[in-house]
């Protein structure tokens, strides 16, 4: 079973992502902000990380850049799931290591399709 990490400071978003992806057959772990996500990623490996951008303590872009430096995460798919859609934010996300970008509110079928495409 593929392991996914969802990182968002919103409990309701984490629950929706967890419910959607668990139903699709993935094992989902949750982190409450970028720092928590980075700590969890440093302790175990995930097949994909899905993160929000705007979070307290450490934002999604900072977390992605830090996770990319961890052993084994050079090519792990990382998806930004955020309300932000500006080109400069997407560009910063790509530079930090984002594989894809979905704007909230998300469609469950779209999220599952993107995850299935990126997680082999």
User: Is residue 16's pLDDT more than 90?
Assistant: yes
According to the model, what pLDDT value does residue 120 have? 82
According to the model, what pLDDT value does residue 82 have? 93
Specify the DSSP class assigned to residue 114. Answer: H
In the structure, what pLDDT confidence band is assigned to residue 37 with cuts at 50, 70 and 90?
A: very high
Instruction: Dump strand ranges (E) for the chain.
Output: 3-7, 27-31, 48-51, 78-82, 100-103
Burial class (CB in 10 A: 0-12, 13-18, 19+), 69: exposed
Q: On the CB side of 69, how many CA atoms lie within 13 Å of its CA?
A: 9
What percent of the chain has pLDDT above 90? 96
Quickly tell me which residue has 């900072």 as its tokens: 62
| pLDDT single digits (tens) 57-112 | 999 999 999 999 999 999 999 999 999 999 999 999 999 999 999 999 999 999 99
User: Is residue 5's pLDDT more than 90?
Assistant: yes
Domains, the chain: 3-118 (3.40.50.2300)
Mean pLDDT, residues 25-51: 98
Nearest-angstrom CA–CA distance, 91 and 15 = 28
Mean pLDDT, residues 48-53: 97
Nearest-angstrom CA–CA distance, 53 and 93 = 9
Quickly tell me which residue has 């990319």 as its tokens: 68
According to the model, what pLDDT value does residue 59 have? 96
* Three-class secondary structure of residue 110 per DSSP: helix
- Please indicate whether residue 84 or residue 27 has the higher confidence score (pLDDT): 27
The candidate with the shortest Cα–Cα distance to 4, out of 48, 39, 37, is 48
């Amino acid at each position: 079973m593929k392991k996914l990490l969802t990182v968002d400071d919103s409990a309701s978003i984490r629950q929706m992502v967890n419910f959607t992806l668990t139903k699709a057959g993935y094992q989902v772990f949750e982190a409450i902000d970028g720092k928590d996500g980075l700590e969890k990623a440093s302790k175990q490996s995930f097949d994909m990380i899905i993160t929000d951008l705007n979070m307290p303590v450490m934002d999604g872009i900072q977390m992605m850049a830090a996770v990319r430096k961890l052993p084994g995460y050079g090519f792990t798919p990382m998806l930004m799931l955020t309300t932000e859609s500006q080109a400069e934010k997407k560009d910063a996300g790509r530079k930090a290591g984002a594989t894809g970008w979905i704007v909230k509110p998300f469609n469950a079928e779209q999220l599952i399709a993107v995850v299935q495409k990126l997680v082999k």
